[in-house]
Chains A and B, each alone.
Chain A
Amino acid sequence: MIHICNVERYHAPSAEELQALRESHVLLKKYDYERKPLHRGYTDKILTIDVGTKEAMIADIPAEVKEKFIGGKGYCLRYLWDAVNPQTRWDSPENEIVMSAGPIAGITQYGGTGKTLICTISPMTDIPIDSNVGGFFGPYLKFAGFDALEIRGKSDTDVVVVIDATKGTISFEEAPMEHFDAHILCEELTALYADNENDKKNIAVAAAGSAADYCNLGMLNFSFYDPRRGVTRLKQAGRGGIGRVFRNKRIKALVCKIGGVKANLNDVYDFGLINKTGLKFHREVANNDAKQNDMRGVGTAYSLRTLADYDIVPTHNFKFGDAPGIDEMTAAVFKADWLTQGAADGCWYGCSMACAKASDHFLLKTGPYKGQRVCVDGPEYESAAGLGPSCGIYNPQEVLEINFYCDTYGLDTISYGTMTAFLMECYERGILNKERTGGLDLTWGNAADDLEMMHQMARNEGFGKIAALGIHKQKEYFAKMGWGDMNEMNDFGMEQKGLEYSEYSAKESLAQQGGYGLTNKGPQHDEAWLIFMDQVNNQIPTFEDKAEALYFYPMFRTWFGLMGLCKLPWNDIVPADNALTDDPKMVPEHVENYLNLYYGVTGQKIDTKEMIRQSERVYNFQRIFNIRMGKGLRANDAIPYRSAGPVFEDEYLWREERYDTQLVELAGYTPEQVKSMSLQERMAATRKHREDQYQKLIDAVYPKRGWNMNGVPTIAHLKELGMDLPELLEIVEPLQ
């Protein structure tokens, strides 16, 4: 086991290297500004930068916007709406990247209080994507005087935008010599803008990576400096191609520099309450984490082994769920051999849950950095499951190397994993072959060629250009080339609305099929993770119950995105006496903590009803935003059959007894009938039943959410929410 005491510090760029970088910078434009300090979690200012014209503008955030949209994702969507029109596509100059951290973000007394939400029109879905990320940039932006940042326009050269709160300046600089890959670029810029070693922790960088120039699944890294290791580490706003938009605007990086993090920079309403709530939480983590999930030991990857026991880990592109080789890469293996223990691995100050684990001085075996030793963050559960079992890979070293290159190249690990699994299945089915892949052997488990494909993506070469498209456009391309049948690929290509699925197999949970299918941005589990409640606990057996869950959880979880909160401290650790509460799954004491934090920061008392209401306003706004951009109706909530049931014979045979039993118990066949049916007949009957169930689920969910049967929010519901804004009514009125 590796302990932080034995980890050598990383080498920083030398003084000569930094001098050369400094001299190469060209200042294009610089603005002075007066920093407005925070008051009760807000500055009420938004910074708009146009990288095309190199303008920086500061405006007040109107009280009505604050009241209805709160912050975080609410602000991102509101300002994005105002910037775009129905014809705007991801690469239109008016498309914006908007980021906002939310009122609670930046406090340091409670766990998980440093998240930033980012929205843009996605190159993968053509609708707004939202993605959350840890790291320093969002909270530092608040400390620099801004509740939100909107970025518009397109630069004609690569540009770095520097917000320096210590000097009160915003500058646009050409920075031609820095590397493009995030692990080096963020290190270079951190060293360059810090006054000295001690000042590095005051620098936050946002950067994509070289593959984000070409790949729709490009993501955005946010840095956080780790003084113990002496290295700049990265967290990711992974989903939906934000990094692609960032690079299309030719932004090389954003830098935010502050004078230091202090206990009460948010100038909160009741600091004592926040402190008290935080202390209670930290004690709970210290006492219970090792007995519960061991987040401090292994991070979210703790669940890899155990989820395989429930057939939930996507295996061979979600065909199966039991990840048969998982014993080779369990959390215990990662902990024993790879992940450094004993470090304060929080992605924001004060997060005692500290799940941002790292593998130190990891030796790379491939690609441009072959032979170098680097710090690899993660892997989180999603990355490990998607890059590993879904592609038939069970070697921790290989998974870590793929994870590292995804991060530094600026690729979303979830989309990359799900997409590679799709390509591997295409290879298995003969839709792809070596001739079509330019020699890549995409057999299940072939990590070497998986990595080679990713290196090609970063170089914009060969089959990497096709991999860069993502599943949705790959299906179209393969069909156009006459390589594959569109209907068949639609069944097993795990994407919806253009976004690749995140890494849970939902076949045995109808509610989770809805948890993926009835999302705003596409199939990401952050709206609703209902598999256990449904599949195992059987707590929501009826359509009515499932619909209630698919109303409540997406709203509850949206709230974290309005506030700048990480969801993990809500339920990845629970109080010791949680079992004795009325509703243990909701972790009532933690919900109370969140209401206290909101009150402590803003001075406004709310209850859970108002919490849901705040989210519901933003949630419905996003749904209507989707409709405005051409998606967001019932037809767009259809899911690939693979997420609901077995597409191919080997998939059915894997759990034949289960499926046969369900035909009797759930679909109304007699045992004799099932016995007399061929495999194809049983598969067809299973499919019909499961597809019917999904439609019935939609019929139950839409009214619960205040939508009509086409998935359009009703005018009455918008009125009730106080969201009968003219621009929303204009969209929904013709669809009532």
Chain B
Amino acid sequence: MQLNHREYAGFREGITVQDVIDENKFTWPKLVVRCNGKVIWPQDYAQTVLQENDDLEVIHLLGGG
């Protein structure tokens, strides 16, 4: 599985988007999450199970103007 275009070493069976966010301490309030190009909304993070070939992007939007 790819996380932000890098191989994700923490991939395991059953891992969800929420797990990836928690493990990486992605605490920034404005994230855009896409899995294989499709937007995943925050309410679906915990239910979205990732597969070995998934391309996950967790885009942190800029802040501070």
Contact = CB atoms under 8 A, between A and B. Distances in A.
A537 B59 contact: yes
A539 B59 contact: yes
Specify which of A293, A294, A526 lies most central, judged by the most chain B CB atoms within 10 Å of its CB: A293
Nearest to A569: B65
B58 to A, nearest CB: 8
Interface in B1-57: 4-6, 25-30, 32-34, 39, 41, 57
A572 interface: yes
A566 B29 contact: no
Given A303-B64, A541-B5, A571-B65, A293 B29 contact: yes
B4 A538 contact: yes
A507 to B, nearest CB: 17
A305 interface: yes
A526 B5 contact: no
Interface stretch (A241-249, A578-586, A624-632): A578-586
Interface stretch (A2-10, A39-47, A528-536, A633-641): A528-536
A309 B29 contact: no
Nearest to A380: B64
Specify which of A294, A570, A571 lies most central, judged by the most chain B CB atoms within 10 Å of its CB: A571
Given A538-B5, A538-B6, A572 B32 contact: no
A300 B59 contact: no
Nearest to A565: B65
A305 B27 contact: yes
Contacts of B57: 537
A580 B34 CA distance: 10
A570 B58 CA distance: 21
Contact of B63 (A526, A541, A572): A572
Contacts of B60: 532, 536-537
Given A293-B29, A293-B30, A309-B27, A585 B64 contact: no
A236 B7 CA distance: 45
A303 B63 contact: yes
A579 B4 contact: no
B28 A557 contact: no
B63 to A, nearest CB: 6
A567 B65 contact: yes
Contacts of A381: 64
A381 B63 CA distance: 11
A189 B63 CA distance: 36
A536 B60 CA distance: 7
Contacts of B34: 579
B29 A306 contact: yes
Given A537-B59, A538-B4, A580-B39, A529 B29 contact: no
Nearest to B59: A537
A538 B61 CA distance: 12
B20 to A, nearest CB: 13
Nearest to B2: A538
Contacts of A736: none
Contact of A578 (B4, B25, B28, B32): B32
A568 interface: yes
A571 B63 contact: yes
B28 A584 contact: no
B4 A309 contact: no
Nearest to B31: A579
Contacts of B58: 536-537
A498 B58 CA distance: 37
A292 interface: yes
Say whether chain B's binding surface is mostly helix, strand, loop, or mixed: loop
Contacts of A539: 4, 59
Contacts of B28: 303, 306, 310, 532
Contacts of B26: 309, 536
A731 to B, nearest CB: 31
A302 interface: yes
A579 B64 contact: no
Contacts of A574: 30, 61
Interface in A381-407: 381
Contacts of A567: 64-65
A525 interface: yes
A487 to B, nearest CB: 33
Nearest to B28: A306
B62 A533 contact: yes
B36 to A, nearest CB: 15
A538 to B, nearest CB: 4
A574 B32 CA distance: 11
Contacts of A294: 29
Contacts of B65: 526, 529, 557, 560, 566-568, 570-572
A647 to B, nearest CB: 25
A572 B27 contact: no
Nearest to A586: B62
Contacts of B6: 538
A587 B63 CA distance: 11
A537 B64 contact: no
Interface string A281-325: 000000000001110000010110110011000000000000000
A302 B64 contact: no
Given A538-B6, A541-B5, A579-B39, A306 B62 contact: no
A516 to B, nearest CB: 14
Nearest to B5: A538
A381 B64 CA distance: 9
Contacts of A580: 39
Given A536-B4, A578-B32, A529 B62 contact: yes
A302 B41 CA distance: 22
A636 to B, nearest CB: 25
Interface in A541-572: 541, 557, 560, 566-568, 570-572
Given A292-B29, A309-B25, A584-B59, A572 B4 contact: no
B25 A529 contact: no
A557 B32 CA distance: 22
Given A300-B64, A533-B62, A584 B32 contact: yes
A585 B34 CA distance: 13
A572 to B, nearest CB: 6
Nearest to A579: B32
Contacts of A584: 32, 59, 61
B25 to A, nearest CB: 4
Nearest to B64: A529
Contacts of B39: 579-580
Contacts of A536: 4, 26, 58, 60
A532 B58 CA distance: 11
9 contacts: A303-B63, A305-B27, A526-B65, A532-B28, A532-B61, A539-B4, A572-B63, A572-B65, A584-B61
Interface of A: 292-294, 300, 302-303, 305-306, 309-310, 381, 525-526, 529, 532-533, 536-539, 541, 557, 560, 566-568, 570-572, 574, 578-580, 584-585, 587
Given A579-B33, A585-B59, 17 more contacts: A294-B29, A300-B64, A306-B27, A306-B29, A309-B25, A532-B28, A532-B60, A537-B58, A557-B65, A567-B65, A568-B65, A571-B62, A571-B63, A578-B32, A580-B39, A584-B59, A585-B62
Interface of B: 4-6, 25-30, 32-34, 39, 41, 57-65
